[in-house]
Structure 1
């Protein structure tokens, strides 16, 4: 699929490079056209080095949902990254990822224009800095209201270095990526991109639960910054009470 990325920073680099390896075409966009072009070249070069390509059972389903052939293993040598303006990236992508700072979010969405309306939109943003998170609002819902896109909140719980791993597996267990969204087509596309990283997609509820996912990021990042092992605060599944059978 074609992925337009609003942003030309570390998250665009890490996730975009992995998706290039999986056979998706990428357009990045940023405030500095020369820096965006340099990033696109760097990503393409990195993606064409030998490396594993992840796949998963959701891949063919998501391709069909996007109206594309069900290719279980896209050819990585045909994928490449390019650079464009905010509006060009929003227009280019069959799926658009928002990967800019909260401070610049309004300006970027305005510059991107109406092209994200009715498209799958992946929001990876977090409010960062002391007191930056506001429990009364959700950045994901703001993006949905501003663009008319079908937003899925995802990829916001991990440091960028995790997304550079091929794949992110810890103690033999693939990383689970929670997804919050309302639109099945957008969720299906996001599941594909999660499994292409070698991770496990985990549906975490409707878009109105994105504020909880954003709050979790704010809380966990605060612990990690102090050097705490934030993962240690959660017991294993076997010790977390009764669970409904499936």
Structure 2
């Protein structure tokens, strides 16, 4: 699959590198041509402008700060755009823009899928994404069945398991959960201790 990566930071590096290793064609497009070329050379991708990345990809990863995503994607009607951003108010662990993913979809005309935002960038750099014998689950929020299929394939290609998390309107809940969990992680709490295994049958009792 052809993947355009917007940005040259940690998530662009980690996910772009994993997708190259999985056999995908990746083009990195950042604001700095030099940094785009540097990252592309490091992960084995091509380099270009942000517009090149949007045009190139069967899917486009918006790996830029949340408040820069609308400008970075621009007009992209019908494109599949993966929003991995979290709109976090600096130092406060609360959402700065609750409707960030919906606003990106409205502004760009793209089929936006919220994904890959739940884990810290260093998780995506780990040698293995299998934990306690299970592949890492990646929640996806989106409205387009076709776009969700594309992103599910990309999730599986790096050894993870897609988790259907509902329509794009639920993306702000996913972001809020992420920000909440990050605040607990930073305080030294094992977030898993609050989410025991539960079956649908148990919830119906």
Same fold (TM over 0.5): yes
| Matching residue of 1:218 | 179
Cα pair 1:6 1:86 within 8 Å, conserved: yes
| Matching residue of 2:125 | 164
Tell me the CA shift for residue 6 of structure 1.
1.0
Higher relative contact order (CA 8 A, sep 6+): 1
Give the match's secondary structure for 1:90.
helix
Q: Which runs of 4+ in 1 moved over 6 A?
A: none
| Matching residue of 2:66 | 102
Write out aligned runs for 1:1-246 (5 A). Answer: 1-44=1-44, 81-109=45-73, 113-114=74-75, 116-128=76-88, 129-131=90-92, 133-134=94-95, 137-238=98-199, 241-242=202-203
For residues 80-135 of structure 1, the C-alpha deviation after alignment (integer angstroms, 9 at most, x for no partner) is x11111111111111111110123334323xxx32x21011110001232346448
For residues 182-241 of structure 1, the C-alpha deviation after alignment (integer angstroms, 9 at most, x for no partner) is 101100010011101111111010111111101111100111111111121111225993
For residues 14-44 of structure 1, the C-alpha deviation after alignment (integer angstroms, 9 at most, x for no partner) is 1111111111111112222111101000001
Quote the RMSD (CA, aligned, Å): 2.0
Tell me the CA shift for residue 167 of structure 1.
3.2
Larger radius of gyration: 1
Cα pair 1:167 1:199 within 8 Å, conserved: no
Following the alignment from structure 1 to structure 2, what is the Cα–Cα distance between the partners of residues 25 and 239? 39
TM-score, normalized by length of structure 2?
A: 0.92
Give the match's secondary structure for 1:205.
coil
TM-score, normalized by length of structure 1?
A: 0.77
Residues 158 and 134 (structure 1), Cα distance of their counterparts in 2 relative to 1, 3 Å cut = closer
Uncovered stretches (5+) of structure 2, i.e. residues with no partner = none
Following the alignment from structure 2 to structure 1, what is the Cα–Cα distance between the partners of residues 163 and 204? 16
Give the match's secondary structure for 1:125.
coil
Following the alignment from structure 2 to structure 1, what is the Cα–Cα distance between the partners of residues 201 and 86? 28
